Amino acid sequence: METLNLKIELDVTFWDKKPEYKILLNDVEKSSGHIDKNTIIEFDTDLEDNAEHKLEIKLLNKEYTDTLQSDDKSEILKDMLLHVKQIMIDNIPLDYLMYSKSQYVPFDNSHPTLDKCVDLGWNGTYILTFSTPFYIWLLENM
């Protein structure tokens, strides 16, 4: 078993209602709620050694009306977004890895799955997969 500390910094863009998020690690909920400002969610976790682990950050409550466009639809005037600003594991900022190793999977199949995406604009899931031992994964992916 490897014990790791995770700190996830989220930020938001919204104008009407607060974005609702949920964070899961290996399908276990670690945090959820509504967010209205830059927030850091921190938790410790015990992870099985020599295994792959999946961190998920979900945007849950965006509706079509949360995006306000100009009359000619050429410009977005107001929107709701959830931003994954930083992920730190054992006080090590993942920086580029949280971007380069990520995938964003929308709930609605009419939107494409995106690699390297940290700004959630549709209801969907940001996914970061990493393995333990964490420090070996980090060295192999730097």
Q: How far apart are the first and last CA of the chain?
A: 23
Does pLDDT of 133 surpass 90? yes
Q: What is the pLDDT of residue 73?
A: 82
Q: Which domains does the chain have, with CATH numbers?
A: 2-141 (2.60.60.40)
pLDDT band of 142, cuts 50, 70, 90? confident
Q: What is the mean pLDDT of residues 1-10?
A: 96
Residue-wise pLDDT for 53-91, tens only, equals 999 999 999 999 999 988 888 889 999 999 999 999 999
pLDDT band of 40, cuts 50, 70, 90? very high
Q: What is the pTM of this model?
A: 0.94
Residue-wise pLDDT for 81-90, tens only, equals 999 999 999 9
Give the Cα separation of 33 and 15 in Å (integer).
17
Asked if 35 and 10 count as a contact pair (C-beta separation under 8 A), the reply is: yes
